[in-house]
Structure 1
Protein backbone atom coordinates (compact mmCIF):
# COMPACT_ATOMS: atom_id res chain seq x y z
CA UNK A 1 0.00 0.00 0.00
CA UNK A 2 2.77 2.57 0.71
CA UNK A 3 4.19 1.86 -2.75
CA UNK A 4 0.80 2.25 -4.42
CA UNK A 5 0.14 5.46 -2.48
CA UNK A 6 3.46 6.87 -3.63
CA UNK A 7 2.72 5.98 -7.25
CA UNK A 8 -0.69 7.65 -6.93
CA UNK A 9 0.95 10.84 -5.63
CA UNK A 10 3.57 10.76 -8.39
CA UNK A 11 0.73 10.40 -10.91
CA UNK A 12 -0.90 13.57 -9.57
CA UNK A 13 2.38 15.47 -9.86
CA UNK A 14 3.09 14.11 -13.35
CA UNK A 15 -0.41 14.91 -14.60
CA UNK A 16 -0.20 18.44 -13.20
CA UNK A 17 3.22 19.06 -14.77
CA UNK A 18 2.04 17.81 -18.16
CA UNK A 19 -0.99 20.10 -18.06
CA UNK A 20 1.00 23.13 -16.92
CA UNK A 21 3.95 22.80 -19.27
CA UNK A 22 5.39 19.32 -19.62
CA UNK A 23 7.88 17.10 -17.83
CA UNK A 24 5.48 14.61 -16.29
CA UNK A 25 7.33 11.65 -17.80
CA UNK A 26 10.50 12.59 -15.93
CA UNK A 27 8.61 12.20 -12.67
CA UNK A 28 6.59 9.12 -13.60
CA UNK A 29 9.35 7.07 -15.22
CA UNK A 30 11.79 6.95 -12.26
CA UNK A 31 8.93 6.13 -9.89
CA UNK A 32 7.82 3.18 -12.03
CA UNK A 33 11.39 1.92 -12.41
CA UNK A 34 11.67 2.09 -8.62
CA UNK A 35 8.74 -0.34 -8.33
CA UNK A 36 10.81 -2.94 -10.19
CA UNK A 37 9.71 -2.43 -13.80
CA UNK A 38 12.28 -2.48 -16.60
CA UNK A 39 12.94 0.95 -18.20
CA UNK A 40 11.11 0.04 -21.42
CA UNK A 41 8.10 -1.39 -19.57
CA UNK A 42 8.12 1.60 -17.19
CA UNK A 43 8.12 3.98 -20.13
CA UNK A 44 5.22 2.15 -21.77
CA UNK A 45 3.34 2.12 -18.46
CA UNK A 46 3.88 5.84 -17.89
CA UNK A 47 2.59 6.60 -21.38
CA UNK A 48 -0.54 4.52 -20.77
CA UNK A 49 -1.10 6.03 -17.33
CA UNK A 50 -0.64 9.64 -18.45
CA UNK A 51 -3.06 9.42 -21.41
CA UNK A 52 -6.25 9.96 -19.36
CA UNK A 53 -4.66 12.97 -17.67
CA UNK A 54 -3.78 14.46 -21.06
CA UNK A 55 -7.31 13.78 -22.30
CA UNK A 56 -8.67 15.48 -19.18
CA UNK A 57 -6.50 18.52 -19.85
CA UNK A 58 -7.53 18.60 -23.52
CA UNK A 59 -11.20 18.52 -22.46
CA UNK A 60 -10.67 21.54 -20.21
CA UNK A 61 -9.07 23.38 -23.14
CA UNK A 62 -11.47 22.12 -25.82
CA UNK A 63 -12.90 25.60 -26.58
CA UNK A 64 -9.47 27.21 -26.77
CA UNK A 65 -7.91 25.01 -29.46
CA UNK A 66 -6.67 26.96 -32.47
CA UNK A 67 -4.81 25.90 -35.66
CA UNK A 68 -1.02 26.07 -35.55
CA UNK A 69 0.32 28.12 -38.43
CA UNK A 70 -1.46 27.25 -41.65
CA UNK A 71 -2.23 23.68 -40.61
CA UNK A 72 -5.68 22.52 -39.63
CA UNK A 73 -6.32 20.94 -36.26
CA UNK A 74 -7.37 17.66 -37.89
CA UNK A 75 -4.22 17.46 -40.03
CA UNK A 76 -1.95 18.17 -37.06
CA UNK A 77 -3.77 15.62 -34.89
CA UNK A 78 -3.63 12.92 -37.58
CA UNK A 79 0.10 13.51 -37.96
CA UNK A 80 0.57 13.21 -34.19
CA UNK A 81 -1.39 9.94 -34.08
CA UNK A 82 0.68 8.35 -36.86
CA UNK A 83 3.99 9.56 -35.45
CA UNK A 84 3.13 8.44 -31.93
CA UNK A 85 2.32 4.91 -33.11
CA UNK A 86 5.57 4.69 -35.07
CA UNK A 87 7.60 5.90 -32.09
CA UNK A 88 5.96 3.33 -29.82
CA UNK A 89 6.82 0.62 -32.32
CA UNK A 90 10.46 1.73 -32.34
CA UNK A 91 10.59 1.56 -28.54
CA UNK A 92 9.46 -2.06 -28.60
CA UNK A 93 11.70 -3.07 -31.52
CA UNK A 94 15.01 -1.27 -30.91
CA UNK A 95 17.59 -2.42 -28.31
CA UNK A 96 16.77 -1.12 -24.85
CA UNK A 97 20.29 0.34 -24.47
CA UNK A 98 19.55 2.90 -27.16
CA UNK A 99 16.57 4.10 -25.17
CA UNK A 100 18.57 5.61 -22.32
CA UNK A 101 21.51 6.89 -24.34
CA UNK A 102 19.69 9.50 -26.40
CA UNK A 103 17.32 10.89 -23.77
CA UNK A 104 19.57 13.48 -22.04
CA UNK A 105 20.74 14.94 -25.35
CA UNK A 106 17.24 15.19 -26.79
CA UNK A 107 16.01 16.87 -23.64
CA UNK A 108 18.94 19.30 -23.61
CA UNK A 109 18.23 20.23 -27.22
CA UNK A 110 14.57 20.88 -26.45
CA UNK A 111 15.43 22.97 -23.38
CA UNK A 112 17.83 25.18 -25.36
CA UNK A 113 15.23 25.67 -28.06
CA UNK A 114 12.60 26.68 -25.54
CA UNK A 115 14.94 29.03 -23.67
CA UNK A 116 16.24 30.83 -26.75
CA UNK A 117 13.45 30.13 -29.23
CA UNK A 118 11.95 33.59 -29.44
CA UNK A 119 15.29 35.49 -29.79
CA UNK A 120 16.37 33.03 -32.48
CA UNK A 121 13.00 33.48 -34.16
CA UNK A 122 13.49 37.25 -34.28
CA UNK A 123 16.98 36.85 -35.78
CA UNK A 124 15.68 34.45 -38.42
CA UNK A 125 12.80 36.80 -39.12
CA UNK A 126 15.15 39.77 -39.62
CA UNK A 127 17.33 37.79 -41.98
CA UNK A 128 14.36 36.47 -43.95
CA UNK A 129 12.80 39.93 -44.24
CA UNK A 130 16.06 41.30 -45.55
CA UNK A 131 16.18 38.63 -48.24
CA UNK A 132 12.55 39.08 -49.20
CA UNK A 133 11.20 35.96 -47.50
CA UNK A 134 7.77 35.92 -45.93
CA UNK A 135 7.42 36.16 -42.19
CA UNK A 136 4.63 35.15 -39.88
CA UNK A 137 2.96 36.79 -36.94
CA UNK A 138 5.01 37.98 -34.03
CA UNK A 139 8.14 38.36 -36.18
CA UNK A 140 8.60 34.65 -36.83
CA UNK A 141 9.56 32.93 -40.04
CA UNK A 142 6.33 31.75 -41.68
CA UNK A 143 6.89 28.04 -42.21
CA UNK A 144 4.70 26.27 -44.74
CA UNK A 145 1.96 23.91 -43.51
CA UNK A 146 3.88 20.98 -45.00
CA UNK A 147 7.02 21.90 -43.02
CA UNK A 148 4.98 22.21 -39.83
CA UNK A 149 3.45 18.77 -40.39
CA UNK A 150 6.81 17.13 -41.14
CA UNK A 151 8.29 18.61 -37.96
CA UNK A 152 5.22 17.57 -35.97
CA UNK A 153 5.58 14.01 -37.28
CA UNK A 154 9.21 13.83 -36.12
CA UNK A 155 8.31 15.25 -32.71
CA UNK A 156 5.42 12.75 -32.42
CA UNK A 157 7.75 9.84 -33.25
CA UNK A 158 10.00 10.99 -30.42
CA UNK A 159 6.96 11.33 -28.19
CA UNK A 160 5.84 7.79 -28.88
CA UNK A 161 9.38 6.50 -28.34
CA UNK A 162 10.05 8.28 -25.05
CA UNK A 163 7.68 11.20 -24.44
CA UNK A 164 9.85 13.21 -22.05
CA UNK A 165 9.70 16.92 -22.95
CA UNK A 166 7.75 16.25 -26.13
CA UNK A 167 5.47 19.15 -25.24
CA UNK A 168 8.53 21.34 -24.65
CA UNK A 169 9.79 20.41 -28.11
CA UNK A 170 6.44 21.32 -29.67
CA UNK A 171 6.33 24.71 -27.98
CA UNK A 172 9.97 25.40 -28.90
CA UNK A 173 9.39 24.62 -32.57
CA UNK A 174 6.14 26.59 -32.73
CA UNK A 175 7.88 29.51 -31.03
CA UNK A 176 10.81 29.55 -33.46
CA UNK A 177 8.99 28.69 -36.65
CA UNK A 178 5.69 30.46 -36.11
CA UNK A 179 6.19 32.97 -33.32
CA UNK A 180 3.46 31.29 -31.31
CA UNK A 181 3.26 32.44 -27.70
CA UNK A 182 3.78 29.74 -25.07
CA UNK A 183 0.47 30.36 -23.33
CA UNK A 184 -1.43 30.54 -26.64
CA UNK A 185 0.08 27.24 -27.79
CA UNK A 186 -0.50 25.38 -24.53
CA UNK A 187 -4.06 24.13 -25.34
CA UNK A 188 -2.94 22.65 -28.67
CA UNK A 189 0.17 21.20 -27.06
CA UNK A 190 -1.95 19.27 -24.57
CA UNK A 191 -4.29 18.07 -27.33
CA UNK A 192 -1.42 16.81 -29.49
CA UNK A 193 0.24 15.03 -26.57
CA UNK A 194 -3.07 13.30 -25.90
CA UNK A 195 -3.33 12.27 -29.57
CA UNK A 196 0.17 10.82 -29.93
CA UNK A 197 0.07 9.11 -26.53
CA UNK A 198 -3.32 7.59 -27.32
CA UNK A 199 -1.98 5.86 -30.44
CA UNK A 200 1.18 4.78 -28.60
CA UNK A 201 -0.97 3.41 -25.78
CA UNK A 202 -2.99 1.28 -28.20
CA UNK A 203 0.23 -0.47 -29.24
CA UNK A 204 1.66 -0.72 -25.72
CA UNK A 205 -1.50 -2.37 -24.41
CA UNK A 206 -1.12 -5.11 -27.02
CA UNK A 207 2.63 -5.59 -27.29
CA UNK A 208 4.25 -4.49 -23.98
CA UNK A 209 4.33 -5.93 -20.46
CA UNK A 210 2.56 -2.93 -18.92
CA UNK A 211 -0.57 -4.88 -17.96
CA UNK A 212 1.40 -7.30 -15.79
CA UNK A 213 1.34 -4.78 -12.91
CA UNK A 214 -2.28 -3.55 -12.97
CA UNK A 215 -2.31 -2.06 -9.45
CA UNK A 216 0.67 0.18 -10.17
CA UNK A 217 -0.74 1.18 -13.55
CA UNK A 218 -4.17 2.06 -12.16
CA UNK A 219 -2.67 4.09 -9.29
CA UNK A 220 -0.57 6.15 -11.68
CA UNK A 221 -3.54 6.55 -14.02
CA UNK A 222 -5.93 7.80 -11.33
CA UNK A 223 -3.35 10.26 -10.04
CA UNK A 224 -2.63 11.56 -13.55
CA UNK A 225 -6.33 12.23 -14.21
CA UNK A 226 -6.58 14.27 -11.00
CA UNK A 227 -3.41 16.15 -11.87
CA UNK A 228 -4.51 16.69 -15.47
CA UNK A 229 -7.74 18.41 -14.44
CA UNK A 230 -6.07 20.47 -11.72
CA UNK A 231 -3.08 21.43 -13.84
CA UNK A 232 -5.14 22.52 -16.83
CA UNK A 233 -7.25 24.84 -14.66
CA UNK A 234 -4.09 26.15 -13.01
CA UNK A 235 -2.32 26.79 -16.33
CA UNK A 236 -5.25 28.87 -17.60
CA UNK A 237 -4.80 31.26 -14.68
CA UNK A 238 -1.03 31.64 -14.86
CA UNK A 239 0.44 34.69 -16.65
CA UNK A 240 2.32 33.83 -19.86
CA UNK A 241 5.71 34.80 -18.37
CA UNK A 242 5.14 32.72 -15.24
CA UNK A 243 3.96 29.72 -17.28
CA UNK A 244 7.09 29.95 -19.43
CA UNK A 245 9.18 30.12 -16.25
CA UNK A 246 7.57 26.97 -14.86
CA UNK A 247 8.17 25.08 -18.10
CA UNK A 248 11.81 26.20 -18.30
CA UNK A 249 12.44 25.31 -14.66
CA UNK A 250 11.12 21.78 -15.17
CA UNK A 251 13.07 21.39 -18.42
CA UNK A 252 16.39 22.57 -16.98
CA UNK A 253 15.99 20.54 -13.78
CA UNK A 254 15.21 17.32 -15.60
CA UNK A 255 18.01 17.84 -18.13
CA UNK A 256 20.58 18.23 -15.35
CA UNK A 257 19.20 15.25 -13.44
CA UNK A 258 19.32 12.98 -16.47
CA UNK A 259 22.91 13.93 -17.32
CA UNK A 260 23.94 13.29 -13.70
CA UNK A 261 22.04 10.02 -13.74
CA UNK A 262 23.66 8.88 -16.98
Structure 2
Protein backbone atom coordinates (compact mmCIF):
# COMPACT_ATOMS: atom_id res chain seq x y z
CA UNK A 1 0.00 0.00 0.00
CA UNK A 2 2.80 2.38 0.88
CA UNK A 3 4.28 1.79 -2.56
CA UNK A 4 1.01 2.72 -4.25
CA UNK A 5 0.64 5.81 -2.08
CA UNK A 6 4.19 6.89 -2.91
CA UNK A 7 3.62 6.36 -6.63
CA UNK A 8 0.36 8.32 -6.49
CA UNK A 9 2.05 11.10 -4.54
CA UNK A 10 4.88 11.37 -7.06
CA UNK A 11 2.42 11.38 -9.96
CA UNK A 12 0.47 14.15 -8.26
CA UNK A 13 3.66 16.12 -7.70
CA UNK A 14 4.49 15.61 -11.39
CA UNK A 15 1.11 16.98 -12.43
CA UNK A 16 1.65 20.10 -10.30
CA UNK A 17 5.26 20.51 -11.47
CA UNK A 18 4.29 20.09 -15.12
CA UNK A 19 1.48 22.59 -14.78
CA UNK A 20 3.77 25.11 -13.08
CA UNK A 21 6.38 24.74 -15.81
CA UNK A 22 3.72 25.29 -18.46
CA UNK A 23 2.24 28.30 -16.68
CA UNK A 24 5.19 30.19 -15.22
CA UNK A 25 8.13 27.89 -14.48
CA UNK A 26 9.27 26.64 -11.08
CA UNK A 27 8.32 22.97 -11.34
CA UNK A 28 11.59 22.07 -9.60
CA UNK A 29 10.14 23.52 -6.39
CA UNK A 30 7.61 20.66 -6.37
CA UNK A 31 9.45 17.76 -8.02
CA UNK A 32 12.64 17.97 -5.96
CA UNK A 33 11.00 18.13 -2.49
CA UNK A 34 8.60 15.33 -3.48
CA UNK A 35 11.51 13.06 -4.33
CA UNK A 36 13.27 13.97 -1.09
CA UNK A 37 10.08 13.13 0.81
CA UNK A 38 10.07 9.72 -0.89
CA UNK A 39 13.35 8.95 0.85
CA UNK A 40 15.96 9.73 -1.81
CA UNK A 41 19.27 11.42 -0.90
CA UNK A 42 19.47 15.04 -2.15
CA UNK A 43 21.84 14.46 -5.08
CA UNK A 44 19.85 11.44 -6.28
CA UNK A 45 16.59 13.38 -5.87
CA UNK A 46 18.02 16.23 -7.95
CA UNK A 47 19.23 13.88 -10.70
CA UNK A 48 15.91 12.01 -10.71
CA UNK A 49 13.99 15.28 -10.92
CA UNK A 50 16.09 16.23 -13.95
CA UNK A 51 15.29 12.94 -15.67
CA UNK A 52 11.59 13.10 -14.80
CA UNK A 53 11.11 16.62 -16.18
CA UNK A 54 13.11 15.94 -19.37
CA UNK A 55 10.30 14.38 -21.47
CA UNK A 56 8.14 17.47 -21.09
CA UNK A 57 11.04 19.76 -21.99
CA UNK A 58 11.95 17.64 -25.00
CA UNK A 59 8.35 17.55 -26.24
CA UNK A 60 8.10 21.33 -25.97
CA UNK A 61 11.39 21.79 -27.83
CA UNK A 62 10.23 19.49 -30.63
CA UNK A 63 6.89 21.27 -30.90
CA UNK A 64 8.59 24.67 -31.27
CA UNK A 65 11.43 23.52 -33.54
CA UNK A 66 10.02 25.33 -36.56
CA UNK A 67 10.01 28.67 -34.71
CA UNK A 68 13.68 28.85 -33.72
CA UNK A 69 15.20 32.25 -34.44
CA UNK A 70 18.99 32.81 -34.38
CA UNK A 71 19.99 35.72 -32.17
CA UNK A 72 23.06 37.41 -30.76
CA UNK A 73 26.65 37.03 -31.93
CA UNK A 74 26.68 33.21 -31.75
CA UNK A 75 25.04 30.74 -34.16
CA UNK A 76 22.42 28.47 -32.62
CA UNK A 77 24.66 25.42 -33.05
CA UNK A 78 27.28 27.09 -30.86
CA UNK A 79 24.66 27.92 -28.20
CA UNK A 80 23.49 24.30 -28.24
CA UNK A 81 27.07 22.98 -27.98
CA UNK A 82 27.95 25.29 -25.08
CA UNK A 83 24.77 24.31 -23.26
CA UNK A 84 25.35 20.60 -23.75
CA UNK A 85 28.93 20.76 -22.49
CA UNK A 86 27.92 23.03 -19.60
CA UNK A 87 25.04 20.73 -18.65
CA UNK A 88 27.34 17.70 -18.59
CA UNK A 89 29.89 19.60 -16.49
CA UNK A 90 27.17 20.70 -14.07
CA UNK A 91 26.04 17.09 -13.70
CA UNK A 92 29.63 15.99 -13.04
CA UNK A 93 30.02 18.70 -10.39
CA UNK A 94 26.86 17.42 -8.72
CA UNK A 95 28.37 13.94 -8.72
CA UNK A 96 31.46 15.32 -6.97
CA UNK A 97 29.38 17.15 -4.34
CA UNK A 98 28.87 15.26 -1.09
CA UNK A 99 25.35 14.79 0.25
CA UNK A 100 26.14 16.99 3.26
CA UNK A 101 27.53 19.77 1.09
CA UNK A 102 24.58 19.60 -1.29
CA UNK A 103 22.14 19.84 1.60
CA UNK A 104 23.85 23.10 2.59
CA UNK A 105 23.98 24.42 -1.00
CA UNK A 106 20.39 23.62 -2.00
CA UNK A 107 18.71 26.40 0.06
CA UNK A 108 20.91 28.99 -1.64
CA UNK A 109 20.13 27.55 -5.07
CA UNK A 110 16.42 27.67 -4.24
CA UNK A 111 16.82 31.27 -3.09
CA UNK A 112 18.49 32.21 -6.38
CA UNK A 113 15.66 30.54 -8.27
CA UNK A 114 13.01 32.26 -6.12
CA UNK A 115 14.57 35.68 -6.62
CA UNK A 116 14.81 35.02 -10.34
CA UNK A 117 11.11 34.13 -10.43
CA UNK A 118 10.35 37.33 -8.52
CA UNK A 119 12.62 39.86 -10.19
CA UNK A 120 13.49 38.27 -13.54
CA UNK A 121 11.19 40.54 -15.54
CA UNK A 122 12.42 43.68 -13.77
CA UNK A 123 16.04 42.64 -14.29
CA UNK A 124 15.36 42.07 -17.95
CA UNK A 125 13.83 45.53 -18.36
CA UNK A 126 16.72 47.16 -16.50
CA UNK A 127 19.25 45.40 -18.70
CA UNK A 128 17.31 46.41 -21.81
CA UNK A 129 17.50 50.06 -20.79
CA UNK A 130 21.20 49.87 -19.96
CA UNK A 131 22.16 49.57 -23.61
CA UNK A 132 25.05 47.25 -22.71
CA UNK A 133 25.74 44.35 -25.06
CA UNK A 134 28.02 41.34 -24.72
CA UNK A 135 30.53 40.42 -27.44
CA UNK A 136 30.76 36.85 -28.73
CA UNK A 137 33.21 35.75 -26.02
CA UNK A 138 30.99 37.16 -23.27
CA UNK A 139 27.88 35.56 -24.74
CA UNK A 140 29.66 32.20 -24.91
CA UNK A 141 30.78 32.49 -21.29
CA UNK A 142 27.29 33.36 -20.07
CA UNK A 143 25.63 30.52 -21.99
CA UNK A 144 28.22 28.02 -20.77
CA UNK A 145 27.61 29.14 -17.16
CA UNK A 146 23.85 28.78 -17.66
CA UNK A 147 24.41 25.26 -18.97
CA UNK A 148 26.44 24.38 -15.86
CA UNK A 149 23.70 25.72 -13.58
CA UNK A 150 21.07 23.84 -15.58
CA UNK A 151 22.99 20.57 -15.25
CA UNK A 152 23.80 21.06 -11.57
CA UNK A 153 20.38 22.15 -10.35
CA UNK A 154 18.35 24.01 -12.95
CA UNK A 155 15.72 25.82 -10.87
CA UNK A 156 14.43 28.82 -12.90
CA UNK A 157 17.28 28.46 -15.41
CA UNK A 158 14.86 29.31 -18.22
CA UNK A 159 14.11 32.66 -16.61
CA UNK A 160 17.83 33.25 -16.07
CA UNK A 161 18.38 32.66 -19.79
CA UNK A 162 15.70 35.12 -20.78
CA UNK A 163 16.99 37.73 -18.34
CA UNK A 164 20.59 37.52 -19.53
CA UNK A 165 19.90 37.19 -23.24
CA UNK A 166 18.88 40.85 -23.37
CA UNK A 167 22.62 41.52 -23.21
CA UNK A 168 23.07 39.93 -26.63
CA UNK A 169 19.80 40.54 -28.48
CA UNK A 170 16.86 42.92 -28.71
CA UNK A 171 14.39 40.26 -29.88
CA UNK A 172 11.10 40.21 -27.93
CA UNK A 173 10.41 37.44 -25.41
CA UNK A 174 7.99 35.45 -27.62
CA UNK A 175 10.68 35.14 -30.31
CA UNK A 176 13.18 33.87 -27.71
CA UNK A 177 10.85 31.26 -26.18
CA UNK A 178 11.66 28.48 -28.70
CA UNK A 179 15.41 28.93 -28.14
CA UNK A 180 14.91 28.88 -24.37
CA UNK A 181 12.89 25.66 -24.63
CA UNK A 182 15.52 24.01 -26.83
CA UNK A 183 18.47 25.00 -24.66
CA UNK A 184 16.66 23.97 -21.48
CA UNK A 185 16.11 20.54 -23.01
CA UNK A 186 19.79 20.41 -24.05
CA UNK A 187 21.04 21.14 -20.52
CA UNK A 188 18.63 18.58 -19.05
CA UNK A 189 19.49 15.94 -21.65
CA UNK A 190 23.26 16.28 -21.23
CA UNK A 191 22.92 16.08 -17.45
CA UNK A 192 20.50 13.15 -17.68
CA UNK A 193 22.91 11.10 -19.80
CA UNK A 194 25.69 11.59 -17.26
CA UNK A 195 23.38 11.01 -14.29
CA UNK A 196 22.24 7.73 -15.86
CA UNK A 197 25.82 6.62 -16.52
CA UNK A 198 26.74 7.40 -12.91
CA UNK A 199 23.72 5.54 -11.54
CA UNK A 200 22.24 8.62 -9.87
CA UNK A 201 18.68 8.26 -11.22
CA UNK A 202 16.00 6.36 -9.33
CA UNK A 203 14.04 5.30 -12.41
CA UNK A 204 11.17 3.74 -10.47
CA UNK A 205 10.39 7.12 -8.93
CA UNK A 206 11.19 9.14 -12.02
CA UNK A 207 8.52 7.30 -14.07
CA UNK A 208 5.35 8.41 -12.20
CA UNK A 209 6.77 11.90 -11.81
CA UNK A 210 7.45 12.10 -15.56
CA UNK A 211 3.98 10.77 -16.44
CA UNK A 212 2.38 13.29 -14.13
CA UNK A 213 4.55 16.02 -15.62
CA UNK A 214 3.24 15.32 -19.12
CA UNK A 215 -0.37 15.40 -17.88
CA UNK A 216 0.31 18.55 -15.88
CA UNK A 217 1.95 20.22 -18.84
CA UNK A 218 -1.16 19.70 -20.96
CA UNK A 219 -3.48 20.86 -18.18
CA UNK A 220 -1.27 23.83 -17.38
CA UNK A 221 -1.20 24.95 -20.99
CA UNK A 222 -5.00 24.89 -21.09
CA UNK A 223 -5.38 26.60 -17.72
CA UNK A 224 -2.97 29.29 -18.86
CA UNK A 225 -5.59 30.37 -21.39
CA UNK A 226 -8.18 30.88 -18.64
CA UNK A 227 -6.51 31.77 -15.33
CA UNK A 228 -5.48 35.35 -14.58
CA UNK A 229 -1.70 35.66 -14.83
CA UNK A 230 -1.53 37.35 -11.41
CA UNK A 231 -3.03 34.24 -9.76
CA UNK A 232 -0.58 31.93 -11.45
CA UNK A 233 2.34 34.12 -10.43
CA UNK A 234 1.14 34.41 -6.82
CA UNK A 235 0.77 30.63 -6.40
CA UNK A 236 4.15 29.95 -8.03
CA UNK A 237 5.95 32.49 -5.84
CA UNK A 238 4.21 31.22 -2.69
CA UNK A 239 5.35 27.66 -3.39
CA UNK A 240 8.89 28.78 -4.20
CA UNK A 241 9.40 30.86 -1.07
CA UNK A 242 7.77 28.39 1.30
CA UNK A 243 10.01 25.65 -0.13
CA UNK A 244 13.09 27.87 0.21
CA UNK A 245 12.32 28.74 3.84
CA UNK A 246 11.73 25.08 4.71
CA UNK A 247 15.06 24.06 3.18
CA UNK A 248 16.93 26.83 4.99
CA UNK A 249 15.34 25.73 8.25
CA UNK A 250 16.21 22.10 7.66
CA UNK A 251 19.78 22.89 6.66
CA UNK A 252 20.70 25.38 9.36
CA UNK A 253 18.36 24.86 12.29
* TM-score normalised over the length of structure 1: 0.80
Residue 130 of structure 1 is matched in structure 2 by: none
1:250 is aligned to 2:233: no
Which of 89, 94, 115 is the equivalent residue of 2:92? 89
User: Residues 166-177 of structure 1 correspond to what in structure 2 (within 5 A)?
Assistant: 166-175=157-166, 177=168
Which of 188, 209, 214 is the equivalent residue of 2:179? 188
Whole-angstrom distance in 2 between the partners of 1:43 and 1:249: 23
1:192-240: CA deviations, max 9, x gaps? Answer: 11101101001111213423xx3322111222233345556776x69xx
Which of 207, 221, 236 is the equivalent residue of 1:218? 207
Residue 116 of structure 1 is matched in structure 2 by: 122
* TM-score normalised over the length of structure 2: 0.83
Whole-angstrom distance in 2 between the partners of 1:183 and 1:233: 18
User: Residues 89-238 of structure 1 correspond to what in structure 2 (within 5 A)?
Assistant: 89-100=92-103, 101=105, 102-111=108-117, 113-125=119-131, 141-175=132-166, 177-211=168-202, 214-229=203-218, 231=220
Q: Does the C-alpha gap of structure 1 residues 124 and 85 become closer, same or farther in structure 2, counting only changes over 3 Å?
A: same
- Give the CA deviation at 1:2: 2.3
- Give the CA deviation at 1:247: 6.0
- Give the CA deviation at 1:190: 1.4
- Give the CA deviation at 1:39: 1.1
Whole-angstrom distance in 2 between the partners of 1:68 and 1:228: 27
Q: Does the C-alpha gap of structure 1 residues 176 and 201 become closer, same or farther in structure 2, counting only changes over 3 Å?
A: same
1:18 is aligned to 2:21: yes
Q: Does the C-alpha gap of structure 1 residues 200 and 122 become closer, same or farther in structure 2, counting only changes over 3 Å?
A: closer
Q: Does the C-alpha gap of structure 1 residues 230 and 150 become closer, same or farther in structure 2, counting only changes over 3 Å?
A: farther
- Does structure 1 retain, via aligned residues, the 8 Å contact 2:134–2:167? no
Count the aligned residue pairs: 242
SS of aligned partner of 1:210: coil
- Does structure 2 retain, via aligned residues, the 8 Å contact 1:111–1:248? no
Residue 69 of structure 2 is matched in structure 1 by: 66
Residue 251 of structure 2 is matched in structure 1 by: none
SS of aligned partner of 1:37: coil
- Does structure 2 retain, via aligned residues, the 8 Å contact 1:158–1:166? yes
Q: What residue ranges of structure 2 are gaps of 5+ in the alignment?
A: 249-253
- Give the CA deviation at 1:178: 3.0
Q: What residue ranges of structure 1 are gaps of 5+ in the alignment?
A: 126-140
Residue 132 of structure 1 is matched in structure 2 by: none
Whole-angstrom distance in 1 between the partners of 2:96 and 2:72: 34
Q: Which range moves more in the overlay, 57-66 or 178-187?
A: 178-187
Q: Does the C-alpha gap of structure 1 residues 97 and 27 become closer, same or farther in structure 2, counting only changes over 3 Å?
A: same
